[in-house]
Amino acid sequence: MTISVSSSDELIRLDTFLSSRLIQFSRSKIQKLISEGRITVNDKTVKKNLKLSYGDTIKVDTSKFESLEVPKLKKWEYPLEVIYEDDDFAIINKPFGVISHPTTNNKDETLVNILLNQFEDKLSSHPDPLRPGIVHRLDRDTTGVMIIPFNEYAHWKIADQFKNRTIQKEYIALTWGEWTDDEGIIENKLSRSKKNPLKYQSSIEGREATSKFKLINKGKYFSAINFFPKTGRTHQIRIHCSEKGYPIIGDELYGGGWKKLNEYLPEVRKKINNNISILNGHYLHASSISFLHPRKEKKILFKAQPSKEFSNLFEMIKNEEI
């Protein structure tokens, strides 16, 4: 079994990373397999605490471990907007509230399960049997455009573009507050929080995170921002908004939860409640992506429209109603 390391998995310990991938095993079992040399990184035996780098290739020797066989992933019939499809890849509009791949706590209701239902035959030659179709990720509540490679050739051609940062992405973030800057660049280093393993934060020991932003419009109390991330760190845009003082609306993890609505005038709360069904999720949408077609070597651009719920709030901000 061969597993590739994505950019969002950089600096994670090998045993921690594999605990989320080999979901049929305990962490202690994985550590034992590493110490026995059954698991290698870039064809070398390593220690369990090795910090991974983007592009690392992990090989798991399954020859003597029947239980290391890839667990059978279930199909999940769930609405999916397919924007484009050919023999090498598809472009989808990821739905709200769906995580990208199976985890220990959720094996059956993820984007991977939806993809198997939609593209099972085409995904049969994907190089990662645990995450077929996944070459990059969006957070559970982030919606928008995603590239879904079908085969090994397309996967690595697209992965190299992510590695070399030649893929251009655009996001729309709806945030609390009125941004004072019309445009700029946010740069810092991000690492996983030691207090809360679900969060990331600025750290001198972290990995470079760079986002260019441009104000779309600011209303009376909220703002709409375009983000053009140069790097693709986990939660990057969410953290950049939060640390700048304008957390994304609905982002409980980074200070943008709906409790903040209590800080606003009753008329503002009424407008929000009348027009938006308050969900337990944040308002961040991947609106477009541009890259080289893996086989034709031609630049292509795809866009994904936000949901009606997102668009309602977006229009209110653009029209300066709130």
Provide DSSP, 197-231: TT-EEE-TTSEEEEEEEEEEEE-SSEEEEEEEESS
3-state secondary structure of 128: coil
Indicate the pairing of strand 299-303 with strand 168-176: unpaired
The answer to whether residues 89 and 134 touch, using CB atoms and an 8 Å cutoff, is no
Sign of the Cα pseudo-torsion (243, 248, 251, 252, in order)? positive
Beta strands in the chain (DSSP E): 2-4, 39-41, 44-45, 57-60, 81-85, 89-94, 143-149, 168-176, 183-192, 200-202, 207-218, 222-229, 284-292, 299-303
Concerning whether 121 is annotated as a catalytic residue, the answer is no
Catalytic residue, candidates 139, 160, 182, 251 = 139
Sign of the Cα pseudo-torsion (278, 315, 218, 186, in order)? positive
Q: Give catalytic residue positions.
A: 139
